Amino acid sequence: MLLLSNFIGGKFASLKEETYIDSYNPSTGKVYARIPNSTEYEINLAVEAAQKAFQTWSKTSRSTRAQIMYKIADILESKLNEFAVAESIDQGKTLEFAKNVDIPRSIYNFRYFAGHILHTEEKSTVTDNIALNYIQRYPLGVAGLISPWNLPLYLLTWKIAPCIAAGCTCVAKPSEFTSVTAYMLCDVFKQAGLPEGVVNIVFGTGSKSGQALVSHPKVPLISFTGGTVTGKKINETCAPLFKKVSLELGGKNANIIFEDCDFEKTVDTSIRAAFSNQGEICLCGSRIFVQKSIYPKFLDAFISQARQLVVGDPKDPKTKVGALISKQHMEKVLKYIELAKEYGGIIECGGIRKKLDGEFSDGYFVEPTVITNIKSSCRVAQEEIFGPEAINLANDNQYGLSCSIWSENGRRARRVAESIQVGYVWVNCWMVRDLRVPFGGVKKSGIGREGGEYSMNFFTEQKTICLAN
């Protein structure tokens, strides 16, 4: 049994009171790791360590910070397979996805932000020959970084990398469902020579460890990725304390398909957008709108491909859909499918738990599910399900994260893209990411933008200094 410990001040630390949480392997349904359930006491220690480290790290040159970050990336890359295997066991995702998406993107997060701080400049302005204004940008202090279970290392490093690049230090709390690769990352930090206390990782539940971190008075900024309900709670805690908050929340993203699309590419990518990572990506295209003239043809092709997706052992290269994160989550997904039926939804394929043999007999597998005949007002069309689902017919939505548009008519694609209320629109593609551009949502999908200079803006503050002649 794997036993994790917190990483505080550059050392693996034991708990004051030994309370642990069981962590399950979603594909077998068996406990395979135990996670410390940290209390306010451990959070306090971690914040103290981060505060101490901030005094030196915030004054460390950009080139030294970048050098260490490049080293972190290199070491992580040399252990890509090891990390991918661990991520797949811990999360239930396919090994192929972890190898090609999660871990490479985690590596790139460090490389990208290391490069970013070496290649940015600040502006200065002269006021009518009477004064010079220049902007001093400075890191804000200790950041609290809270990440979800769907893309564990990828989203954790998406926060840690810009944070330490900016000269901040942090206390990070990964999801209690997926803590293992974060724990492994601590050794990488040590090997890369990251000074003690720059990154502290504290494990535990959201209500206990997360809440203690968010409400800590010495943590002036909170970067959170997770569900909308949690985001609201965090915002309520932070607002009276005037903390800077970035909230990357849920999505229920539309995939809009026109008759003049490149049909094969559209079907292939729509399948990926719906079912990659078992549908557990905030950017998944879970609501599909198809122009009437090609609807029957699209539905046939889409269902036929969805049926061919192999659900099973995440290690098997043939597997395209692994296990859902937990028993509770699987039950939630299945409940939404039942709800869809009650509202007259037609289950075109899937719709049930997938029972496997042998070691996977208790795994949390659900067949890729396509539901049609759903009204826009139905909860199935409104709420994030985060499972292997695709829904036809829905229009307005409380979320506003991303959208894909499929059309070979540029003018039409632009017109639709510009009128959609989301933070990110892909035209004829899905999940193509450039870390320089702003990323984030509107409505219940969040507040703030991350990526390139937008992340830097979050982790730093700007002071204008006006010098008279």
Closer residue to ligand NAD in complex, CB, 176/367:
176
Closer residue to ligand NAD in complex, CB, 66/282:
282
Contact (Cβ atoms closer than 8 angstroms) between residue 277 and residue 150: yes
Applying CB under 6 A, which of residues 61, 81, 125, 207 lies at the interface with ligand NAD?
207
Strands (E) in 156-282, as ranges, are: 169-173, 199-201, 221-225, 244-248, 253-257
AA letter at 186: C
Q: How many CA atoms lie within 13 A of 244 on its CB side?
A: 17
In DSSP terms, 321 is beta-bridged to: 311
Closer residue to ligand NAD in complex, CB, 68/282:
282
Applying CB under 6 A, which of residues 285, 446, 448, 451 lies at the interface with ligand NAD?
446
Edge to edge, the sheet with strand 11-13 lists 11-13, 6-8, 199-201, 169-173, 142-146, 221-225, 244-248, 446-447
Closest CB 82 distance from ligand NAD, rounded Å: 23
Closest CB 229 distance from ligand NAD, rounded Å: 7
- How far apart, in whole angstroms, are the C-alpha atoms of residue 349 and residue 188? 44
Contact (Cβ atoms closer than 8 angstroms) between residue 368 and residue 306: yes
Nearest to 218 by CA among 171, 156, 167, 186: 171
Closer residue to ligand NAD in complex, CB, 188/422:
422
Q: Does the annotation count 48 as an active-site position? A: no
Site for ligand NAD in 361-420 (CB under 6 A): 384, 386, 401
Contact (Cβ atoms closer than 8 angstroms) between residue 102 and residue 93: yes
Closer residue to ligand NAD in complex, CB, 226/312:
226
Q: Does 206 bind ligand NAD (CB under 6 A)?
A: yes
Distances in whole angstroms, Cα of residue 381 to Cα of each of 290, 377, 392: 15, 7, 9
Closer residue to ligand NAD in complex, CB, 226/452:
226
Closest CB 448 distance from ligand NAD, rounded Å: 10
Residue environment code for 339-365, b if the CB has 16+ CB neighbours within 10 A, otherwise e? bbeebebebbbbbebbebeeebebbbb
Give a three-class secondary structure readout of 292-347.
Answer: HHHHHHHHHHHHHHHHHCCECCCCCCCCCECCCCCHHHHHHHHHHHHHHHHCCCEE
Q: Which of 248, 280, 348, 389 is catalytic?
A: 248
Applying CB under 6 A, which of residues 175, 255, 397, 455 lies at the interface with ligand NAD?
175
Q: Does 173 bind ligand NAD (CB under 6 A)?
A: yes
Measured CA angle at 450 (ends 140, 385), to 5 deg: 125
Q: Does 157 bind ligand NAD (CB under 6 A)?
A: no
Contact (Cβ atoms closer than 8 angstroms) between residue 31 and residue 1: yes
N- to C-terminal Cα separation, the chain:
68
- How far apart, in whole angstroms, are the C-alpha atoms of residue 47 and residue 52? 9
Closest CB 21 distance from ligand NAD, rounded Å: 10
The DSSP symbol for 353 reads: B
CB under 6 A: which stretch of 94-102, 192-200, 202-210, 259-267 binds ligand NAD? 202-210
CB under 6 A: which stretch of 38-46, 147-155, 190-198, 459-467 binds ligand NAD? 147-155
Nearest to 105 by CA among 168, 61, 150: 150
Write the interaction track for ligand NAD spanning residues 226-255; mark x where CB under 6 A is met and - where it is not. xx--x--xx-------------xxxx----
Site for ligand NAD in 14-73 (CB under 6 A): none
Q: Does 120 bind ligand NAD (CB under 6 A)?
A: no
Please work out the total of residues on this chain that contact ligand NAD, with binding judged by CB under 6 A: 31
Closest CB 140 distance from ligand NAD, rounded Å: 19
Closest CB 389 distance from ligand NAD, rounded Å: 14
The DSSP symbol for 366 reads: B
CB under 6 A: which stretch of 75-83, 142-150, 182-190, 361-369 binds ligand NAD? 142-150
Closer residue to ligand NAD in complex, CB, 305/402:
402
Indicate the residue whose CB is closest to ligand NAD. 206
- Residue corresponding to tokens 């009128």: 419
Q: Does 286 bind ligand NAD (CB under 6 A)?
A: no
Closer residue to ligand NAD in complex, CB, 224/365:
224
- How far apart, in whole angstroms, are the C-alpha atoms of residue 28 and residue 358? 9
Q: Does 210 bind ligand NAD (CB under 6 A)?
A: yes
Q: Which two tokens stand for residue 232?
A: 């609201």
Applying CB under 6 A, which of residues 4, 114, 140, 282 lies at the interface with ligand NAD?
282
Applying CB under 6 A, which of residues 148, 279, 322, 345 lies at the interface with ligand NAD?
148
Q: Does 176 bind ligand NAD (CB under 6 A)?
A: yes
Closer residue to ligand NAD in complex, CB, 249/371:
249
Q: Does 270 bind ligand NAD (CB under 6 A)?
A: no
**Residues with a known catalytic role:** 248
The residues that touch ligand NAD, with contacts defined as CB under 6 A, are 146-150, 155, 173, 175-176, 205-207, 210-211, 214, 225-227, 230, 233-234, 248-251, 282, 384, 386, 401, 441, 446
